[in-house]
C-alpha cells in the first residue's frame, strides 16, 4: 500500500504524469470527483497498477481514439479525430477514474451517449460553466475545439486563470464561464489547499502558472509572462527574458523582441521595444489575460 506522502512522488517521478493530471487523481482519491482522461497503452498500464494499490477504480473505453494534433498547444484542446480498434497499438483509451464504481458506470455511459450536461455534473464542473460550454460548443468546433477564446479577456482572477493548462499546470480541468466565476475560484482554491496537504512544494508550483499573465493565441502558441506590470491604463511593461511559450513562432519571437505592450483591447494591442514599434496585433484569435493583482493568497 502506498503511503499518502509517497503518492505524489510516485505519480510524478515514477509514472511521469503531468502535474494537472496528478492533481485530478489526488482529487479523485480524496473526494467524489470523477477524472476523465485519455491514456495511451503505457500510461494506462502504469496507472492501473498504482490505482489498484490506492483503491481507485478505472473504467476504460471499448474503443481507442486518435487525437487531432493541434497547433502549438500540447494537445490540451482534446479534439477527437477518429475512433480506432482496441487492438491498435496507437491511440488513446478514454478513461473514467474514481472511487465509486456506480458513479463511474454512469459517467462512462453519459460520455458514450454524448450527455455533456450530465457528464459535466459528474466531473464536478459548476452549472454556470457547463452552460457556457454548451452555448459556445458550435464556435469551439471551428477553432480546434478550444473554449478559451470564449472567456472575456483582460483582467482575470488568478484562480480562474486557466492558460497554465497549456504548460501542464492548472488547478481546474474545465473551461470557466467567466474571468471571475466564483465557483471556479472556490474549486481552484480548494484544490490548492488539497494539494498543499500532500505536498506544499508541489502545490506552490501551480501558483506560478495561476499568478501569471498570458498572451493566448489560437494558432501561434500561448505565451506566459511572469514579470509584467501596468505602467498606466494602456501600457504594460515586461521582461522578455522570462517568457515561456507553448510553441515558438512569429508571435513568440516578436514578444521576445519587445518589452512593452500598448493595449487598446485584449485582442488589439501593439508590441514595442522601448518606443520602437515591432508589430500591431489585432485578431479575434488572440487574447491577452492579465491576472488581477488585487487578489492575493490568504
Give me the least distance between CB of 207 and Zn ion, in Å please.
21
- Give the range of 13-21, 92-100, 120-128, 156-164 binding Zn ion by CB under 5 A: 120-128
Distance CA 250, CA 19 (A): 28
Kindly tell me which residue out of 7, 104, 130, 181 binds Zn ion, with binding defined by CB under 5 A: 181
Rounded (10°) angle between helices 182-198 and 127-142: 100
Burial state string for 50-67 with b = 16 or more CB within 10 A and e = fewer than 16: bbeebebbbbebeebbee
Return the number of the residue (143 or 181) whose C-beta is nearest Zn ion: 181
The reply to whether 131 sits near Zn ion by the rule CB under 5 A is no
Return the number of the residue (61 or 157) whose C-beta is nearest Zn ion: 157
The reply to whether 224 sits near Zn ion by the rule CB under 5 A is no
Give me the least distance between CB of 3 and Zn ion, in Å please.
36
The reply to whether 177 sits near Zn ion by the rule CB under 5 A is yes
Give me the least distance between CB of 52 and Zn ion, in Å please.
35
Distance CA 36, CA 173 (A): 10
Taking CB under 5 A as the rule, which mask of x and - marks residues 33-62 in contact with Zn ion? ------------------------------
Q: In what order do the strands lie in the sheet with 80-84?
A: 35-39, 92-98, 57-67, 80-84
Give me the least distance between CB of 27 and Zn ion, in Å please.
18
Give me the least distance between CB of 158 and Zn ion, in Å please.
16
Are 216 and 187 contacting, i.e. CB atoms less than 8 angstroms apart? no
The reply to whether 120 sits near Zn ion by the rule CB under 5 A is no
The reply to whether 129 sits near Zn ion by the rule CB under 5 A is yes
Report the 10 Å Cβ neighbour count for 196.
14
Are 73 and 146 contacting, i.e. CB atoms less than 8 angstroms apart? yes
H-helix segments, 166-241: 182-198, 200-210
The reply to whether 128 sits near Zn ion by the rule CB under 5 A is yes
List interacting residues with Zn ion (CB under 5 A). 126, 128-129, 177, 181
Amino acid at each position: 500500500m502506498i503511503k499518502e506522502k509517497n503518492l505524489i512522488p510516485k505519480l510524478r517521478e515514477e509514472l511521469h504524469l503531468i502535474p494537472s493530471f496528478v492533481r485530478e487523481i489526488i482529487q479523485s482519491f480524496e473526494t467524489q470527483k470523477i477524472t476523465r482522461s485519455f491514456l495511451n497503452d503505457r500510461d494506462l498500464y502504469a496507472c492501473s497498477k498504482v490505482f489498484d494499490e490506492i483503491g481507485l477504480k478505472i473504467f476504460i473505453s471499448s474503443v481507442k481514439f486518435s487525437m487531432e494534433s493541434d497547433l502549438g498547444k500540447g494537445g490540451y484542446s482534446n479534439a477527437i479525430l477518429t475512433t480506432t480498434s482496441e487492438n491498435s497499438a496507437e491511440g488513446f483509451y478514454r478513461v473514467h477514474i474514481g472511487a465509486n464504481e456506480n458513479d463511474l458506470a454512469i459517467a462512462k455511459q453519459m460520455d458514450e451517449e454524448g450527455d455533456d450536461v450530465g457528464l459535466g455534473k459528474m466531473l464536478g464542473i459548476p452549472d454556470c460553466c457547463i452552460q457556457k460550454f454548451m452555448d459556445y460548443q458550435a464556435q469551439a468546433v471551428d477553432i480546434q475545439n478550444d473554449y478559451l477564446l470564449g472567456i472575456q479577456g483582460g483582467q482575470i482572477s488568478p484562480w480562474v486563470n486557466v492558460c497554465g493548462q497549456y504548460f501542464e499546470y492548472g488547478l481546474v480541468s474545465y473551461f470557466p464561464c467567466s474571468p471571475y466565476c466564483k465557483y471556479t475560484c472556490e474549486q481552484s482554491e480548494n484544490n490548492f489547499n488539497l494539494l498543499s496537504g500532500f505536498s506544499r512544494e508541489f502545490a506552490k508550483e501551480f501558483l506560478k502558472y495561476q499568478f501569471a499573465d498570458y498572451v493566448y493565441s489560437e494558432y501561434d502558441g500561448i505565451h506566459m509572462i511572469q514579470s509584467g506590470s501596468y505602467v498606466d491604463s494602456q501600457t504594460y511593461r515586461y521582461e522578455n527574458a522570462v517568457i515561456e511559450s507553448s510553441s515558438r513562432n512569429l508571435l513568440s519571437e516578436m514578444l521576445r523582441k519587445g518589452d512593452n505592450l500598448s493595449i487598446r483591447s485584449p485582442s488589439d494591442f501593439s508590441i514595442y521595444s522601448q518606443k520602437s514599434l515591432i508589430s500591431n496585433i489585432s485578431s479575434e484569435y488572440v487574447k491577452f489575460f492579465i491576472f488581477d493583482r488585487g487578489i492575493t493568497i490568504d
